[in-house]
Amino acid sequence: MKVAVIGVGHVGLTTAACLAADGHEVVGLDDDEARIDDLQEGAMPFYEPGLDDLVRAEAKAGRLRFSHEPAEAIPGAEVAFICVGTPTRADGSPDLSAVQRAAATVATHAQSPTVVAEKSTVPVRTGERIKQALALEAQAQGGASAHEVVSNPEFLREGTAVEDTLRPDRVVVGADTERAHAVMRRLWQPLLDRHDCPYVATDVRTAELIKHASNAFLATKISFINSVARVCERAGADVETVADAMGHDPRIGRAFLNAGLGYGGSCFPKDVQAFLHIAGDLGYDFGLLRETERVNREARLWPVAQLRRLLWNLSDKTVAVLGVAFKPGTDDVRAAPALDVIEELSAEGATVRIHDPVALPNVRDRFPEVTRAEDVTSCLDGAHAVLLATEWDEYVQLPPARLAQLLAYPIVVDARNAWDADALRAQGLTVARVGAPQVEVLPGL
């Protein structure tokens, strides 16, 4: 099938490359000419493990092309995916102007009936708005729209986006006609033949709600375990053991029960706000999600409180922060918890050094006064404390003796519970962990 993918950000580029890998002829369309030029030359706009090799392989095979000209991408496409950004407005609602422009682009340039597939995360009933935009554009051109709109939400995770797209745990398609469902089944059939997963066929509105409900639930699960962590700290218990025992119950599961700095990235914060706004527009006060947001904000304050308690004064101290990406496996710093921590430490007068394997270029303008260390050693050397903010493997695998050797004060704040606390303590290090009994303040500091 011939497929157009409008918007080649994280979701769009991954979708385009994986559809090409399944044998479809795909054109990635974006109005960012510099990004398209880079992709045409084989340069990736962001870090995503495995995606660069896949993009280059499919481009070389001739199944994947990129353009900033709609006339090169839209005509002849049986399916046009909308994968544009939906940033959050001040009131928490998503800005859907790019979605409307994408729909108008299809209506203007399509030469035959096209299935327009929402891949961007959008509020319920956006499909009806897209239908309206298609009809209005067709009317302006003196015709009528024969295009159909479906919802095909993505469930990829940054850092594992290729795997999640090629081997998903479900494919959700919402369509209101049998023809549209038939087109989408044919599109995904190579994947379904290769990989055993459910194909969830539903109507458009239900499919639109599935994505927001999924992300909001996962965010709530993270905030729940962070609330449990606060109780554990006060009771002298260990949240890791609590979470492990909870996870043995198949009704609960262990995934997303990792206490720490809370959720970040481009999806969970935006989707929780959007779902709150959607529910409010429909007349329902989704108070549980407001509490989820509050707990998430609170989680970001935990490491600063620990450092303040262990170091007493921060104004004359150097703190090494390991990791700025919102999670390992990506260079994405959007809503990254580490950024709030760095700002708070700087505001209290601490000298902050930061390191990240791939994300440092993305914080250059935000923290001009913060030292961006070229390697882990220079970040740690002589620091009064180290804060683990993103659990990259290279940090987790640091020998405890090396930490003890480099730090001026033996203070470790593990905000991801990723280090072996007993091994660190065996080297004379004082370790603060999330949801664990509070360590004593070191004498003489």
DSSP 94: B
Measured in whole angstroms, the distance separating CA 243 from the mean position of its chain's CA atoms is 23
Structure tokens of 209?
């709600």
Which of 426, 415, 281, 250 has the alpha carbon at shortest distance from 337? 415
The residue type found at 400 is P
The residue type found at 401 is A
CA 421/CA 426 separation, integer angstroms: 9
Structure tokens of 210?
């599935």
Which of 339, 435, 436, 334 has the alpha carbon at shortest distance from 389? 339
CA 336/CA 321 separation, integer angstroms: 13
**Which residues are within 8 A (CB) of 88 and not within 5 positions of it... i.e. 6 or more apart?**
94, 95, 269, 270, 273, 274
Residues forming the active site: 267
The residue type found at 66 is F
Report how far apart, in Å, the C-alpha atoms of 6 and of each of 70, 81, 172 are: 9, 6, 19
CA 39/CA 414 separation, integer angstroms: 38
* Cβ-contact 261, 415 below 8 angstroms: yes
Query: Could you tell me the strand order of the sheet in which 351-355 lies?
Result: 371-372, 351-355, 318-322, 385-388, 411-414, 430-433
Other C-beta atoms lying within 10 Å of the C-beta of residue 427: 15
Residue pointed to by tokens 């095909």: 152
Report how far apart, in Å, the C-alpha atoms of 289 and of each of 213, 215, 269, 277, 439 are: 11, 11, 11, 10, 32
